[in-house]
Amino acid sequence: MNAEELKKIQEPLKEKYRNQPETAIITLKAEGKIGDGISCKVATGKALVEAGLHPATGGNGALACSGDMLLEALVACAGVTLNAVATAIGLEINDAVIKAEGDLDFRGTLGVSKEVNVGFQSIRLHFEIDSNTTPEELQTLQKLTERYCVVYQTLVKGVPVATTFQ
């Protein structure tokens, strides 16, 4: 896909969203079902993923860890956004590898220490880009990728999450 093809696809959507802002609000959904042992089966849209305890909390490593899935979602979104932004602004990317890593202190998750936060302490997102871009173009690519990556922005800004038990 080139910039013209991308614009042709996106421009009618942008126009619709400008004229009818309410149509731009879409609710994405995820669903899971408790599985055998301590696990949860999650439909990803393309496959069924079974998530379980990380080995650091007693899992055996056979099931997907939800923390890994969060990082995978970040990598996927950042990669798609990088590619779309590069295409839109006419930068040629020969190849790119996107890596995310995050640090967890499982003392919080296991209730060993109330002073330790539950969740990632930090997340690092790294791009290895093979391109003939100038440093200025690369800086623009980084800025726009960060700006338009949904998962990145959600993690950086945080959002309210409401919980309901029935």
CB half-sphere exposure, 27, CA atoms < 13 A? 3
Mean pLDDT, rounded, of the chain: 91
Q: Which two tokens stand for residue 45?
A: 């849209």
pLDDT at residue 3 greater than cutoff 80: yes
pLDDT > 70 fraction of the chain, expressed in percent and rounded: 100
Q: Which residues of 70-84 are buried (b: 16+ CB within 10 A; e: fewer)?
A: bbbbbbebbbbbbbb
pLDDT for position 72:
93
Going from N- to C-terminal start, the domains of the chain cover: 3-157
Q: Are 63 and 49 in contact (CB under 8 A)?
A: no
Please list the residues that pair with 43 across neighbouring strands: 31, 48
pLDDT digits (tens, 9 = 90+) for 33-43: 877 877 888 88
User: Candidates 2.40.37.10, 3.30.70.260, 3.30.300.20, 3.40.50.360; correct CATH number of 3-157?
Assistant: 3.30.300.20
Residues 6+ apart with CB under 8 A from 86: 92, 93, 131, 141
Q: What is the mean pLDDT of residues 100-122?
A: 91
Cβ–Cβ under 8 Å, residues 73 and 45: no
Task: Give the DSSP letter of residue 22.
Answer: G
The per-residue pLDDT for 41 is 84
For residue 31, the model assigns a pLDDT of 79
Work out the burial of residue 66: count CB atoms within 10 Å of its CB; fewer than 13 is exposed, 13-18 middle, 19 or more buried.
middle
Report pLDDT digits (tens) over 60-86.
889 999 999 999 999 999 999 999 999
Strands (E), 46-92: 48-52
Tell me the mean pLDDT in the region 138-157: 97
Kindly report the pTM of this predicted structure. 0.87
